[in-house]
Structure 1
């Protein structure tokens, strides 16, 4: 089973990557650093919460694991 700390670290790293990509996409789409950055921060916050929950849910499901 994966620890909560590991799940959280994975989520934070993944979301930092996503934040960077979304900021660039937001900048390209809107032409505004402020609006693109705001979109990226909102997306990252929502994504972080969803990813941690998703990882913790799957950590408790035994299906497909070899013991």
Structure 2
């Protein structure tokens, strides 16, 4: 697992965009069904897309950085002690 590379920033963006499109479509359809208004459903879906895409990107980057960087630091410490 130490050789595993984190996803690139662009891959995180692509994953975020594809997921947000699918999830936003779902939100749009639910909002339209509940309100009966295409305009309100569009506003809800638009806000949801922007906010949740940003949150997803930050979450994805934290996961890409965290475990791999921790294992690199542990490896360096182990080598330094030897």
Give the TM-score, by structure 2 length.
0.74
Q: Which has the larger radius of gyration?
A: 2
Output the CA distance in 2 between the equivalents of 1:15 and 1:6.
14
Cα distance in 1 for residues equivalent to 2:24 and 2:10: 21
1:18 to partner: Cα distance: 1.1
Unpaired stretches in structure 1, ≥5 consecutive residues: none
How many pairs were matched up?
64
SS in 1 for 2:67: coil
Match of 1:8 in 2: 13
TM-score of the superposed pair, with normalisation by structure 1: 0.89
Where in structure 1 do 4 or more consecutive aligned residues deviate above 4 Å? none
SS in 1 for 2:66: coil
**Matched residues in 2 for 1:55 and 1:62: separation?**
12
Cα root mean square deviation, aligned: 1.4
